[in-house]
Amino acid sequence: MDVYEAVTTRRAVRGFTDEPVPREALERVLSAAAWSPSGSNLQSWNSYVVTGAPLAELKKRAGERVAARDSWDEREYEMYPTDLKSPYRERRSAFGHERYSALGIEREDWEARQRAASANWDCFGAPAALFCYIDRDLGRPQWADVGMYLQTVMLLLRAEGLHSCPQMAWSVYRKTVAEILSPPNGLILFCGMSIGYEEPAVGYARTGRAPLDETVTFVHG
**Residue 31's CATH number:** 3.40.109.10
Give the pLDDT of residue 208. 84
Give the pLDDT of residue 221. 82
Closest CA to 194 of 131, 148, 133, 145: 131
The answer to whether residue 92 is domain-embedded is no
The answer to whether residue 9 is domain-embedded is yes
What is the extent of the structural domain holding 17? 3-77+121-205
Give the pLDDT of residue 108. 64
* Length, in residues, of the chain: 221
The answer to whether residue 178 is domain-embedded is yes
The answer to whether residue 83 is domain-embedded is no
Query: What is this structure's pTM?
Result: 0.90
The CA-based diameter of the chain, rounded to the nearest angstrom, is 61
Give the pLDDT of residue 124. 95
Q: How far apart are CA 108 and CA 172, in angstroms?
A: 24
- Structurally, the chain folds into a number of domains equal to 1
Q: How far apart are CA 34 and CA 152, in angstroms?
A: 9
Q: How far apart are CA 140 and CA 209, in angstroms?
A: 25
The parts of the chain modelled with pLDDT lower than 70 are 99-116
The answer to whether residue 87 is domain-embedded is no
The answer to whether residue 215 is domain-embedded is no
